[in-house]
């Protein structure tokens, strides 16, 4: 029997608001990916945001999940369409 390392996943208030604005189809796709972060905080394709110390983004179709992964915790900061994700 192997023990899997699990991470706590937290949604920032801004990410919760972003989720409310999504269509049902996009909501389901993104929630599935957010839930998977508890097993693997940096899945394949996860990229570091340029100019940031701990921020990463995960591509889900045309959307980006912006995360900050700390020790044993992942903080979902924003969910943005790709054209908005990289604006300051």
Q: Return the domain boundaries, the chain.
A: 13-85
Q: Closest Cα partner for 33 from 23, 20, 47, 43?
A: 43
- Our CA dihedral for 15, 87, 56, 22, rounded to 10 degrees, sits at 30
Question: How far apart (Å, rounded) are the C-alpha atoms in residues 78 and 85?
Answer: 8
Is CATH 3.30.2310.20 correct for 13-85? yes
Task: Tell me if 74 sits within 8 A of 37, measured CB to CB.
Answer: yes
CA angle (23 as vertex; 17, 29 as ends), nearest 5: 90
Give tens-digit pLDDT for 32-45. 999 999 998 889 98
pTM of the model: 0.81
Give tens-digit pLDDT for 67-87. 987 777 888 988 888 877 766
């Amino acid at each position: 029997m192997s023990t899997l390392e699990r991470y706590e996943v937290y949604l920032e208030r801004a990410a919760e608001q972003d989720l409310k604005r999504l269509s049902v189809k996009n909501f389901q796709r993104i929630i599935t990916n957010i839930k998977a972060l508890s097993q693997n905080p940096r899945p394949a394709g996860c990229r570091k945001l340029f100019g940031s110390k701990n921020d990463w983004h995960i591509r889900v179709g045309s959307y980006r999940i912006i995360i900050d992964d700390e020790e044993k915790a992942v903080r979902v900061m924003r969910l943005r369409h790709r054209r908005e994700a990289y604006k300051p």
